[in-house]
Amino acid sequence: MTNQLSLERLYHPDGKSLGAIVAGLSGSGKTTAVISTLQQANKKGSGFGEHHRFVVVDPKMQSGDYDLLAEPTYDVDSALKSIQKERMTVYWPELEFMEADVSELVNGIFDMADQNPKTSFSFILDEASILITPTRIPPALKRLAVQGRAKRIKPIFISQRPIVNRWTDANLSTMLLFNTLPVDHDTLSRRWGLDFNEHGQTTRDVPYSFIFFDMEKATFTPMEPVELPKKPRKRKRGVLDGFTGFF
């Protein structure tokens, strides 16, 4: 494998491409890939403008994962204040109130987008299947899927299985497939008319590799294994890899 993932293709809302989904079984490398690529995207000079914001919602609240990117916030108000000041925000929600809190966070980001049209956002929702099922999606996440592109907000949903919901499915441009279940290969093959079973073998043979599926062109690209996330050096609040907050 020689193909490398384009960070801007995955995370940047260019006004043309829709959202993305990252799917794979536990331990297949999807979280590792997102953390590693976000570390690269967060670096100064990576191609993302000074007004871009990365927002990660991490229900797992697991030390050594997304907290490598930024000090986690624990309530919506703190998360929104962080988004205004910092390039990278990590939000650890309480599962009991997750739907209401995530909805408030998403609506707050839409408000920021209206107030400052220069601002763009990558909104990463891990364990998305907690909130999105084949028959149900919270109104705020439906708004994100349908209207996010117009507001320069790009959703990236992360799940152990490809999410099958008509609102998200119709508003996705790309899918990153790590090691997934054979039943999912069959479902995707029936829908897209492509041999997902054949391509799925690649991700089983090469750990931390994945398939980049362009849903608009219906094409596969095998991707090389991602780099393991690096622990950031000790830093003062508001500074990450030489990049300071703004606004």
Q: Using one digit for the tens of pLDDT, what is the confidence trace for 26-81?
A: 988 899 999 999 998 988 777 888 899 999 999 999 898 999 999 999 999 999 99
What pLDDT is recorded for position 43? 85
Query: pLDDT at residue 8 above 90?
Result: no
What pLDDT is recorded for position 245? 34
What pLDDT is recorded for position 194? 87
Query: pLDDT at residue 141 above 90?
Result: yes
What pLDDT is recorded for position 85? 94
| Whole-number Å distance between alpha carbons of 155 and 162 | 15
Domains and CATH numbers, the chain: 7-241 (3.40.50.300)
pLDDT band, residue 110 (cuts 50/70/90):
very high
pLDDT tens by residue, 173-205:
999 999 888 888 888 888 888 888 877 777 777
What pLDDT is recorded for position 232? 66
| Class of residue 165 by CB neighbours under 10 A (exposed 0-12, middle 13-18, buried 19+) | buried
Of 65, 1, 63, 2, nearest in space to 31 by CA: 65
pLDDT, mean over the chain: 87
pLDDT band, residue 224 (cuts 50/70/90):
confident
Of 45, 44, 47, nearest in space to 11 by CA: 47
Query: How is residue 112 written in tokens?
Result: 């920021």
Q: What percent of the chain has a predicted confidence (pLDDT) above 70?
A: 92
pLDDT band, residue 236 (cuts 50/70/90):
very low
Mean pLDDT in residue range 107-119: 95
What pLDDT is recorded for position 233? 55
Mean pLDDT in residue range 217-228: 82
| Whole-number Å distance between alpha carbons of 150 and 181 | 34
Query: pLDDT at residue 246 above 80?
Result: no
